[in-house]
Structure 1
């Protein structure tokens, strides 16, 4: 992955290119932005530009560039969470390798989801940042900069990554050969994050969204047995997948609210489900949709606070079933009154 292949983040890229051109490189960079926004792609491009030996680095053709694009170059060390956290042993191994390395060659250490370090690992990394080994650059990636130890943040140059406008991302996806509607849906559902949009466009990438749509369609007729089945199914999801599921449920409810308020269908996130949503909106009142959106938002906050997915699901879907029935009953009553 090289500079000209990255969509967006122009100012950040210019800043990194300027550092490389002037040879004034900070010992630590913190890339902060949502998951899937492009932080890892930019880190790969920076690594290739730093390590490539060609005059116009990164050339994109040499072995060094290809290895950097795969995070496979021997001068690159990548640390990712082992399970749910980054552990002290991973940072100790980094310290050991940093102490053994020598010479004039640049080396990079890229730590993904750095906010997931244990307290011991964070303190160990802090010592490295306080006394950085020569010619070693740390690139720390996070979607939650506020969750990173403040003393670590203060020793890094922070670069922030923002999502792309959906229309810009959709155009970029279309240039890559994706159909216009598929590109627009992926761009909107991803919240302007290229990595997330590309994942949605893979075979099966829309499975969680489709699952959320099917569940929403069945809520007006659901009973407690249905709720327990949903809870058992969703409790098997990884926390990140459950968070994504709630995001898609929010997008669907948002689209229903737009339709209920008489807005144009071309404003929907889920353009490919326009017909299905137009039929489903008849079962919901605007007030029930507002309440449902608030309930899903609260569920997301609870899970972010490490609440049990099972208990969160139970409370959420009991409430959503009640709201769906309330909306359906209100609509039927108004029709009978007519």
Structure 2
């Protein structure tokens, strides 16, 4: 178990340190923020600090018996709960956690619930009881990228700490360490949105494919083309397509305003491309609103296919209303 701090999240750690040094850690925390920004890493460091035998330092010593047990993955007072891939956390899991917390030997205990948004409604209600009546000397830490998926009563029982996206320089450095060139790392970091999880899921070949499909959606929104894509079946891939569409909308509007390619996310395209693709500003602004709506549907567990279909229907309507492109369409007109 590593107890580092993700670059860019030092301020959050200092805040937690002050709470520990003052002897006033909260009985429950909610670490909220995007995936891949260091929530789990900091939760592990916080757990180590709470369980460390060297009190008063505000940081884990790494040498005491407690730290060694935690590093070896065998500390009896550390409880980690997380769903299986694409799974949920049910009532039985929370009941087992409660039993473990109440029957453990005396001493401080820490429970970390990763991907807390996966808790079912019944599990959240059981979690609420555990938050309202926790065992003595217990700290519960819930981690989530979707705090809105939790009951308001659950959120209100926790001290929320919000994590923002990582600085782009951190993502660039992380990608360079993994063999990407500076130019590749800069491009991927722009698309990753401050998330290492997102950066890790991107590769150059798929990035090019997703990027072109997103552009096709904006320039030629057609349902029969959409239904053949694998992205309509996978929630994560559908969200990726929405992200790339948003990047195109941003870039196309920005180029119309500034005529400057240096600030564009897709700046590898030739200048002739930006001059030829002159989508009407009204259409692009409407597309941005449609993308936001599709993203909300996707996060509300609407089927990915239905989200993308709704987006395409909306884009088709806006093309008719706003005239679509004000310049030449660079995509082939067949199909």
TM-score (norm 2): 0.79
Cα distance, 1:262–1:209 mapped onto 2, change above 3 Å: same
**Residues 192-227 of structure 1, C-alpha deviations (whole Å, 9 max, x = no match):** 234434x25xxx545654332121454556765423
Higher helix proportion, which one?
1
Say which SS state the counterpart of residue 242 (structure 1) adopts. helix
The answer to whether the 8 A contact 1:111-1:139 is kept is yes
Displacement of 1:236 in angstroms is 2.0
Instruction: Please give the secondary structure, in 1, of the residue aligned with 2:136.
Output: coil
* Equivalences for residues 166-205 of structure 1 within 5 A: 166=168, 168-169=169-170, 172-173=173-174, 176=177, 179-197=181-199, 199-200=200-201, 204-205=202-203
Q: Indicate how the Cα distance of structure 1 residues 73 and 175 shifts in structure 2: closer, same or farther if over 3 A, else same.
A: farther
Deviation at 1:249, TM superposition (A): 2.1
- 1:35-74 CA distance string (max 9 Å, x none): 2222111112212333345687535588965875796644
Alpha-carbon spacing, 1:247–1:88, altered in 2? closer, same or farther (3 Å): same
**How much does 1:161 deviate?**
1.4
* Map of 1:150 onto structure 2: 152
Q: 1:224 to 1:119 in 2, by over 3 A?
A: closer
Q: How many residues align?
A: 320
**Matched-pair contact (CA < 8 Å) for 1:261–1:286:** no
Matches within 5 A, 1:171-320: 172-173=173-174, 176=177, 179-197=181-199, 199-200=200-201, 204-205=202-203, 209-219=207-217, 220=219, 225-230=224-229, 233-237=230-234, 239-271=235-267, 274-275=268-269, 279=273, 282-287=276-281, 288-320=283-315
Shift of 1:152: 2.3
Distance 1:253 1:278 in 2: 17
**Residues 171 and 195 in structure 2, CA contact (< 8 A), matched pair in contact too:** no
Indicate if the aligned counterparts of 1:164 and 1:193 stay in contact, CA closer than 8 A: yes
Q: What SS does the corresponding residue of 2:83 show, helix, strand or coil?
A: coil
Give the alignment partner of residue 109 of structure 1, picking from 95, 99, 111: 111
Label 1:227 to 1:324 Cα distance change in 2 as closer, same or farther (>3 A): farther
Q: Measure the CA separation in 2 of the matches of 1:207 and 1:307.
A: 28
Q: Which residue of 2 aligns with 1:51?
A: 51
TM-score relative to the length of structure 1: 0.78
Query: Is the contact made by 2:31 and 2:142 (CA closer than 8 Å) also made in structure 1?
Result: yes
1:317–1:221: structure 2 CA closer, same or farther, 3 Å change rule?
A: closer
Does the C-alpha gap of structure 1 residues 113 and 276 become closer, same or farther in structure 2, counting only changes over 3 Å?
Answer: farther
Q: Deviations over 1:160-205 (max 9, x none)?
A: 2122443x435654785754333333333222234434x25xxx54
Task: Tell which deviates more after alignment, 300-309 or 280-289.
Answer: 280-289
Would the aligned equivalents of 1:77 and 1:110 in 2 still touch at CA under 8 Å?
yes
Distance in structure 2 (CA, Å) of the matches to 1:70 and 1:229: 48
- Aligned partners of 2:113 and 2:222: how far apart in 1? 46
| Cα distance, 1:101 vs structure 2 | 0.7
Change (3 A) 1:257 1:140: same
Secondary structure of the structure 2 residue equivalent to 1:43: helix
Q: Return the offset for 1:88.
A: 0.4
Q: Given the superposition, is the C-alpha separation of residues 254 and 15 from structure 1 closer, same or farther in structure 2, using an over 3 Å criterion?
A: same
- TM-align CA RMSD: 3.5
Aligned to 1:10: 10
How many angstroms apart in 1 are the aligned matches of 2:34 and 2:72? 21
DSSP-derived class of the 1:261 partner: helix
Question: Secondary structure at the residue paired with 2:88?
Answer: coil
